[in-house]
């Protein structure tokens, strides 16, 4: 009580000095505003209310939502993929990753496995060039299962199109699962021919396969380094191809690939690939030069009169 009277007396005494009184009021007001702002910020940002994000990958989406709600988190399905090896509705990936500390109420974005692959219209590509057919199939979300070369005057033009054993007609109006492979019968004049092997090192699997088909070759075995999964395969790059860059191969030959996530391994392979390609070009250039010299000598020999040849021999032996 005595302390309260002392504070009241001091406050009344302060009022008799307007300048000091107003200064104290300003200071108290600023202090009050600062305290209020601090409390509001703490409530707004949930200061001190942190949560460790669980690893939801491998859980079904309904289980992930249940466990997230118990921890004050919210699951948001951001994307979906179709991976036949996994059950439908399973969480394949998440952001933020498991083990990260976040504020309560944070949204966790997940990618789930689709229950069924979507169906897409199968375009009719017979009668088009191989490049056009490949582009049409890729735009439809499909791939090439195999290029089968058939003797025909129209080299690298699609003669027939098959889904499995079923030949596709112009009026088929067939829908197939996205990602399905389509077999193309392609013409080849004379029944023989060679294709140039493209550089595939450094490319993604999608780009490498597209380049292989465009060159008139087939995709062979696909292998991956350790650490490459169904979820990060799009980030992997080719570091080994079974046929040398710039070499020649019969149309329809299969090219096998090995992919990795190791950027340094890819860079080293690119350097080796460039050196091997340059060496091959140099060898071909030397072979072409020798062939040109032999051709010139042959033409000169054919054009030289027989009596001139005899004179040269006589002069030599004399």
Predicted confidence at residue 149, as pLDDT, reads 95
- Distances in Å between the alpha carbon of 95 and those of 87, 156, 274? 21, 46, 39
Predicted confidence at residue 180, as pLDDT, reads 93
Predicted confidence at residue 163, as pLDDT, reads 96
- Distance, in Å, from the CA atom of 304 to the CA atom of 75, rounded to the nearest integer, reads 89
Is the pTM above the cut of 0.75? no
- Distance, in Å, from the CA atom of 89 to the CA atom of 80, rounded to the nearest integer, reads 9
Predicted confidence at residue 314, as pLDDT, reads 54
- Taking the alpha carbons of 303, 308, 312, 313 in that order, is the dihedral positive or negative? positive
140 within 8 A of 161, measured Cβ to Cβ: no
Domain 198-318, architecture per CATH: 2-Layer Sandwich (3.30)
192 within 8 A of 161, measured Cβ to Cβ: no
- Distance, in Å, from the CA atom of 111 to the CA atom of 49, rounded to the nearest integer, reads 26
Statement: 60-113 belongs to CATH 1.10.260.40? no
Predicted confidence at residue 218, as pLDDT, reads 97
Radius of gyration for the alpha carbons in the chain, expressed in angstroms and rounded: 38
* Coil, helix or strand at residue 115: coil
Predicted confidence at residue 280, as pLDDT, reads 73
Please state whether beta strands 50-52 and 101-103 pair in parallel, antiparallel, or not at all (unpaired).
Answer: antiparallel
DSSP states of 58-106: TSBHHHHHHHHHHTT-EEEEEEEE--TTS-TTBEEEEESPTT-EEETT-
- Distance, in Å, from the CA atom of 217 to the CA atom of 209, rounded to the nearest integer, reads 9
148 within 8 A of 253, measured Cβ to Cβ: no
- Distance, in Å, from the CA atom of 20 to the CA atom of 225, rounded to the nearest integer, reads 77
Please state whether beta strands 254-260 and 237-241 pair in parallel, antiparallel, or not at all (unpaired).
Answer: antiparallel
10-residue stretch averages of pLDDT, the chain, 318 residues long: 62 68 72 71 57 90 92 90 84 90 90 88 96 96 96 94 95 92 94 86 95 96 91 90 91 96 93 81 68 65 59 51
Q: What's the topology of domain 118-192?
A: Trypsin Inhibitor V; Chain A (3.30.10)
* Same fold yes or no, 118-192 and 198-318: yes
DSSP states of 170-189: TT---EEETT-EEEEEEEEG
Predicted confidence at residue 311, as pLDDT, reads 55
Which residue(s) pair with 268 in the sheet? Answer: none
**Domain ranges, ordered by start, for the chain:** 2-37, 60-113, 118-192, 198-318
């Amino acid at each position: 009580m005595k302390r309260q009277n002392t504070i009241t007396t001091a406050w009344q005494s302060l009022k008799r000095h307007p300048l000091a009184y107003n200064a104290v009021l300003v200071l108290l007001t600023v202090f009050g505003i600062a305290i209020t702002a601090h409390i509001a910020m703490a409530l707004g940002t949930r200061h001190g209310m942190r949560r460790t994000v669980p690893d939801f990958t491998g859980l079904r989406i309904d289980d992930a939502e249940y466990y997230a709600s118990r921890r004050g988190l919210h699951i948001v399905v951001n994307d979906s993929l179709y991976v036949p090896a996994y059950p439908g509705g399973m969480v394949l990936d998440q952001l933020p990753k498991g083990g990260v500390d976040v504020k309560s109420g944070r949204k966790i974005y997940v990618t789930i496995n689709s229950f069924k692959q979507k169906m897409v219209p199968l375009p009719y590509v017979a009668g088009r060039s191989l490049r056009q057919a490949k582009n049409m199939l890729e735009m439809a979300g499909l791939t090439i299962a195999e290029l089968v070369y058939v003797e025909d005057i129209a080299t690298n033009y699609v003669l027939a199109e098959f889904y499995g054993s079923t030949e596709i007609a112009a009026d088929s109006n067939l829908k197939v699962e996205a990602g399905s492979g389509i077999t193309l019968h392609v013409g080849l004049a004379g029944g023989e021919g060679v294709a140039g092997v493209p550089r595939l090192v450094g490319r993604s699997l999608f780009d490498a396969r597209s380049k292989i088909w465009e060159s008139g070759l087939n995709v062979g075995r696909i292998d991956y380094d350790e650490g490459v999964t169904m979820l990060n395969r799009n980030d992997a790059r080719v570091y080994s191809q079974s046929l040398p860059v710039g070499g020649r191969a019969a149309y329809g030959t299969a090219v096998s690939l090995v992919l990795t996530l190791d950027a340094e391994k890819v860079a080293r392979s690119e350097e080796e690939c460039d050196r091997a390609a340059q060496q091959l070009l140099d060898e071909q250039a030397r072979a072409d030069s020798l062939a040109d010299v032999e051709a010139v000598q042959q033409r000169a020999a054919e054009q030289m009169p027989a009596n001139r040849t005899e004179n040269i021999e006589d002069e030599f032996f004399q």
